[in-house]
Structures are given as C-alpha cells and as structure tokens.
Structure 1
Amino acid sequence: MTATPHQRTGPAMGPAEALSELFTPAGKHNPYPLYDALWDLGPVIPLGPSGTLVLGYDEVCTALRDPRFLVTDADVHRATGMIDHSSWQCFTKIMMFSNSPDHERMRRFAGWAYAPREVAGRRRLAAKWAERWADRLAALDDGGPLDLVETFAVRVPISVTGELLGIPESDQSALRGAITATTTAFEPVFDRDELRPADAGMDVLVDCLGELVRERRRRPGDDLISAMVRDRDAGGALSEEELVASLVMFLIAGVQSPSDLIGTTVRLALSRPAEGRGMTGDDDLVSAFITETLRFDPPNHVLTRAAETDIDFYGHRVAAGSRALLVLAAANRDPRRFTDPAVFDTTRKDNRPLSFGLGPHYCLGAAFARMQVEVAVPVLLWRFPRMALAGPPAYRDQLVTRGFARMDVTLGT
C-alpha cells in the first residue's frame, strides 16, 4: 500500500518528547497525540541497541507472523531476573508467553475451551448475568452518578467467567482487584518494586485456582476446571503448575479485556446516541461498532517481542536479544491502511484491527471477549436509554493494558 502523510489527531510535538511522555500518567491517559508525533520518525523507530518501536500496520503484521520475533518467555525473563517474581513465574507457564514447541502443546490442550461452539453456547450465560447486573444497577439508582466500571463493566465478565470456572459467587468480588493488579506486570518496569502489586495479585489468583483444582480432583463437577483437571490427569499434556497457570490466564483474559472493552464501547455509544440506540436492535451494528471500538481505542495497546537473531526489518537492524515494541493501537490508526483513522466510523469496509494480535499467537480468547461485550452492551443501552456520562472517565495508570478505573454515569430513570 502506498504511504501517505500521517494525519495528526493532536497538537504538534517532537518525537523525542513524545517518547519520553508516552509512559507518564498523562501519556497513558491519552497516548494518541504521542503516537502521531512518533510517526515523524516513521513506522519503525530504532530506540538504540536494546529496542525497536513498531507503529505501522503492515510492519506490525510482519513482526507478528515472523517466527524470529519470539514472545518474551521464561528464558527471556530469567535473563532479566523477572522470573524471580511470582507474577512472571506464572505468566511464563502459559501459551501467551511460551514459544515453540511449548506454545503448540499448551494451545492444543486448552483450545477446545475457546472453540466457536463453546463460545456460542455461553451467550445465554452472558445474557443472564448482563440482565442481573442491570437489575442491580437499577436498584442502586438514586438519581446521582454511579461508577459503571464497578457496578457493571467488571461485574458481568467476572460473573460469566467465574461461573464457567466454578468459582463461588461469594468469592468472585474478592478476585476483581487481584485480576487487574496482575496486568500491571505487562507495563515497562523501571524499578522491580513496581511488580509488587502484580505479584500480590498473582499470589491471590494462584492460591484460589490451585485450591479449586485440588477440590475438583476430589469432587469433580460440570465446570471448566473439572474438565481441564480430567484432561490433564488423563493425558499429562501439562504440568500441575501449567494447568493452574492456564486457568489463571483464562480468568484474567475472561475478565480484564471484556471489562475494558465494555467500558470503552459504552462511552463511545453514549457520545453517538443514534448508533447507541441502534445497537439495541441491530446485531450487525453491534458487531461493527465493537470492531471499530477495537480499532479506535483498544484495550491492549502494546505487544513485546524478542529478536531470536539479527533481523533486517524494513531497512532497520533489530539486534538479536533486543525487544520490539509492537504498538497495536498506533497500527490501528495507520493512515496507509485506514482512511481518516482518527474518525470513529462503523461503516468501514475490511476493518481488521490488530487489537487481539495476529498469527500463531492470535489471542485464543478473542471471540469469548467479544461475545461478552456483544451481549452486555445492548442489554445496558436498552435498559437505560437515558444513560449519560456524568464526567470524564478516569483511566488506570496503564498503557499496555488500558481501560477505565472509573466511569461515572447517570441512568436517567
């Protein structure tokens, strides 16, 4: 595709200033003007001997498909000392942070849990919990602002995923903070103390899921944990630690991305009332709206890869062992791929955002995450047609996994 001048969405800023600002609280709150400024250096930006920043759509696609760009597995984190932290001890035992052949082994074991037929069968479960949490939201309404993140956006996914795993409803709320805390491990770490929240959250999740694995082994049920315990014990494809880690990741992925995507989709729907109303009765519009939300403001902004060997990448040398930061959110606004990328447009043709990755490591849970949003958002908009934002939403202090810490709304009932 022919390159065109990048279309800015924010004030002019030099690339060096943009890069230094990107991981500050202000940069995480609104990174898009910074991505624009970085484009002055092109779609691939060398950061010195230790790293490369990749912004372009085609360039990110190439990196995600190139087997020489490895995910940051246990070997990588062992070399940096990160493996000493409980968060990365668990994360490096899942497929997302494993390379061949472990990646394929883990993906074969867990693939059925994410299969289209399984996801389709869960729509009724998602609808049940969306209706229940809408009922509870209505019961809380006193005319004043309510935090939609805490009262709905998080509650639906944690109820759906928790029921699938067989986690008692009374225990699910206590896991909410731990789930979000673990995702802070994905942010660039400048001081090891920054991993303390992620480690503490991971300890909670590993203890909880590990105990449930032991319980289901003694008394099997009809939940997903029981099925995975049975498969693991019958075939031995995973170690016990890998089994627990896989279940921890199913919980995190089943809650965090859907929660963040529900929040952002609702915010965008409230700013576009006609489309918001249309989503209550038009499945095609719901699908197109969520796809465009994933392009315009996705819940996952950056993936990291490590170069297995020296790579000549679009005229730039990526040194063996160095990191490539693939900025999915910037690639989703590449004007060489998307017309008027800073405009939210549900009528786009061939709209294929990279928000869940691409290639061998494409997110297995993408369909499960989307399904929860497709069900929950129309229920909410139909139930509260006069809902409105009560103020600007507050973002978490995260960029790699980005979403609202709080979003106050009035229901208008």
Structure 2
Amino acid sequence: MDAAQALASLMSPEGRVDPYPAYEWLRAHGPVAAAGPGLYAVTGHAEADELLRDPRVQVLDDNLRDGVMPQWRDSPALASIARSMLRTNPPDHSRMRRLAAAAFTPRRIAGLRDVVTAQAAELIDTLAAAGRDGRPVDFMTHFAYPLPVGVICALLGVPAADRPLFRRWAADLTGVLEPELTPDELASADAGATELRRYFTELVAARRRRPADDLTTALVQAHDAGDRLSAEELLANLVILLVAGFETTTNLLGNGLAVLLAHPAAADALRRHPEHAPAYVDELLRYDSPVQLTTRTTAEAVRVGGVELPAGSWLLLLLGAANRDPRRHPDPDRFDPWRAAPSPLSFGAGPHYCLGAGLARLEAQVAFPLLLRRLPELVPAGTPRRRIRLTLRGYDNLPVTVGRPAPGADHGAPAGTAPGTP
C-alpha cells in the first residue's frame, strides 16, 4: 500500500490498538514519507531525533492553530493545551518550563526514591489483598494509576482524598492529543478540562490563603510576583503537569508489566537482579512506548533523510516506529533488556523533552522489581483491554491474578545501579 493508505490504516481503530504493522508499511516508503499534501510521516530514529532538536521545527502556534481550527479558543481542552508549555515555542516555552523545572532536577527526583518505594509497597499490599481469593484484579486500577498519580499529586500539593477524581478527567482531556478528533471526543475532552480547571482554580485560591511547600504554591507565587506567568498559563500548566505527570507513567507501568509477563525468563532475571531495572525500563520504553507520536510543523524549509520538507509542512513524528527502527536497533521486534544503549525517543528530544522523564523512569525502576519479587506468582488473567488511542498507548484494563506473596518478602527495592548483563 502507498504511504497515504498506510497512514489511514494507522488511524483506524485497529491501527490505534496495534500500530506496529502500519509503522512497517510506512517505513517501506523511507524514514520520512510523504503521506498527503504537505503531510509527512517520520519513522526513522535518526530523522525523528534530528527534527525534534531542530529550532526550525516547532509545535503549532496560535497563528497556525487559527488557520486549522478557528474556534479553538472556545474549547476549554484545546485552550488549556495551547496555553501550556506542551504546545508553546521558545521563548514562552522556555520561560514556563524554567518555573517548573526545579521540582524535577535529578537530585530532587533521586530524593523521592524512598517515597516511591513506600507507596509502591503499600499498593502491592492492596493488590495482594484484593486478589487473595484468586479472583482477577485490575492492575491498572490497583497499581498503575494510583502510584504515579500519588507521586505527582504530592509534588503539586493535591490532597490524597482528591486523587481518585483525576483518572476520568485526564483520560478525556488527553483525547485532544490524538491526530484525529471526533466532535464527541472533543466534547468529552472539554468536559474533562472544565473539571480540571475548576479544581485547580480552587487549589490556587487555597494556596494564596495558605502557602505550602509544593509546586502549586511555587507557580502561584511566580504568577503573583509579576509577569513571569499569566493567569491562563498558571491554570494550563497545573493541568498539564498533573495529567502528564501520571498518564505517561500509568501507561508505562501497564505496558511494561504486560511485556514482562509475556517474557517470563526476562521477568525472572529482573526478579533475581533488580539492579538491572534501569536497562529494563529503557527497553520497555523502546519496545512498547507509552507515547507513540508527537506532531510538529516546519517554520522554514528543512531537509532530512534525503527529503525536502517545505515551510509549513505537517510532521507526524512516530516515536513508536522510530524506537523500532532496524537501522538503530537490530531485530527491533524482540524484547531484549540487554541491548546496548537503547536510547528510546519515548520522552521526545530537544527543548520539549519530557520534564518528568526522570521521575517516570524512577517510578518504573522501583515498581517492576518490587512487584516481581513480592508477587512471584503474578500472571495475566483474562483478556486485557487496550485504549483506542494512538498518541498515548496504554490499557484501560489489565487483569492479573496475584497468587501468594513471597514469604518474608521485603518492602524495599535496591537502588538502581549501572546496568549490565546477568
């Protein structure tokens, strides 16, 4: 099939659930394939990495957005995304990112290891209790969602009692990140954005009355101190920090566990050698990325992969395909935790590299060895249900049976060390 047909297959419900065959059909047309008038699909690792770092390649700005969707300002979901650091270019992007970056430095993230370990251990206890009688339990509900949402909410200062509210709101809002959006999906996204904005409006007011040692207070004070953050940017970035802070990691935990349970020898090696968790997590990110694509446009003409991209071109950077580029990763469809430097593009690259990438990696590096050690009989139970989403790839439901917890299993997870081969 030609590139346009391959892209249409990717956008179908079947393609969204399993995009990998369509990626290969697109790859047959080269690492950068013309898939429509002014539209290019990028499947090559080197090409995607280069474009993500090129200052001539940008996210959609207001002027371009006006031409594509003139009513976008009337949509709470589209407006929230547009005013956040996720969809702004320098210098606005740089200004907003700097205000939040202090909470995500390597030192601050390393200092959260004990907190993440304690939360993961508590959730494993809950998971084991829920499945004590042998009934299947949903890993997404009992572990993959509450672990990252608890961590990001603690950073933002969101009370623990409010955390269950966010799963549906965030799932609806992130529909606007899909490359194609139906009116019903936009209506759901707007409803989710409205609830999230209402929640953070109240939290901002509470932090003005009573400041706390959290990221919400820091951003409120940045807004109140002058012109570093507008009121609209304040709300938009609080929403996106919350949503991005757990959506990607929830999908990493679900996708990753499914892969590990499908490769029991590799899972057993990680159980015996938890110090290799960093290498495992990087390979899980490469093998089944929780973020499959991002979009860009060219502000100027750019030549990459032997293809001339005129100014104003639309780019679908297919990160999931780039992570399986055989020029970068021999035998890319094989899960191999001992690959040399998998360097996945799952968190992007360049100025928009995911601010919370280090935190997501930490949570996964702690969670997987701990789950495998404390629940050695953990196995799939029934048929999991994928979300019909392409941009953010994950499960709605991942049923497992937990079996008997390991006798005398400790609640700690050794700190990650430099990966090697067991």
TM-score by length of 1: 0.92
How far is the alpha carbon of 1:83 from its aligned partner? 3.5
Cα distance in 2 for residues equivalent to 1:192 and 1:72: 20
Which of these residues, 378, 384, 404, is aligned with residue 387 of structure 1? 378
SS in 1 for 2:41: strand
Determine the structure 2 residue equivalent to 1:50.
38
Determine the structure 2 residue equivalent to 1:282.
273
How far is the alpha carbon of 1:313 from its aligned partner? 3.5
Residue pairs, 1:82-161, within 5 angstroms? 82-141=72-131, 142-161=133-152
SS in 2 for 1:138: helix
SS in 2 for 1:38: helix
1:216 matched to 2:172? The reply is no
One-letter amino acid of the structure 2 residue matched with residue 33 of structure 1: P
Determine the structure 2 residue equivalent to 1:309.
300
Determine the structure 2 residue equivalent to 1:186.
177
SS in 2 for 1:306: strand
Determine the structure 1 residue equivalent to 2:340.
349
5+ residue gaps, structure 2, are: 405-422
Residue pairs, 1:328-367, within 5 angstroms? 328-367=319-358
Which of these residues, 56, 62, 73, is aligned with residue 68 of structure 1? 56
Q: For 1:263-311, what per-residue CA distance to the aligned partner results, in whole angstroms no more than 9, with x for missing partners?
A: 1111112122233233345344211111001111100011100111333
Cα distance in 2 for residues equivalent to 1:274 and 1:42: 35
Cα distance in 2 for residues equivalent to 1:244 and 1:281: 45
Checking the alignment, whether the CA contact within 8 Å between 2:285 and 2:344 is kept in structure 1 is yes
Q: For 1:303-351, what per-residue CA distance to the aligned partner results, in whole angstroms no more than 9, with x for missing partners?
A: 1001113333434332332310000111111111111111111111122
Residue pairs, 1:29-48, within 5 angstroms? 29-48=17-36
What do you get for the CA RMSD once the two structures are aligned?
A: 1.7
5+ residue gaps, structure 1, are: 1-12
Q: For 1:21-66, what per-residue CA distance to the aligned partner results, in whole angstroms no more than 9, with x for missing partners?
A: 1111111111111111122211111123231111111111121111
Determine the structure 2 residue equivalent to 1:254.
245
Checking the alignment, whether the CA contact within 8 Å between 1:263 and 1:404 is kept in structure 2 is yes
SS in 2 for 1:99: coil
1:162 matched to 2:162? The reply is no
Cα distance in 2 for residues equivalent to 1:356 and 1:75: 26
Change (3 A) 1:233 1:16: closer
Checking the alignment, whether the CA contact within 8 Å between 1:175 and 1:204 is kept in structure 2 is no
Cα distance in 2 for residues equivalent to 1:17 and 1:325: 15
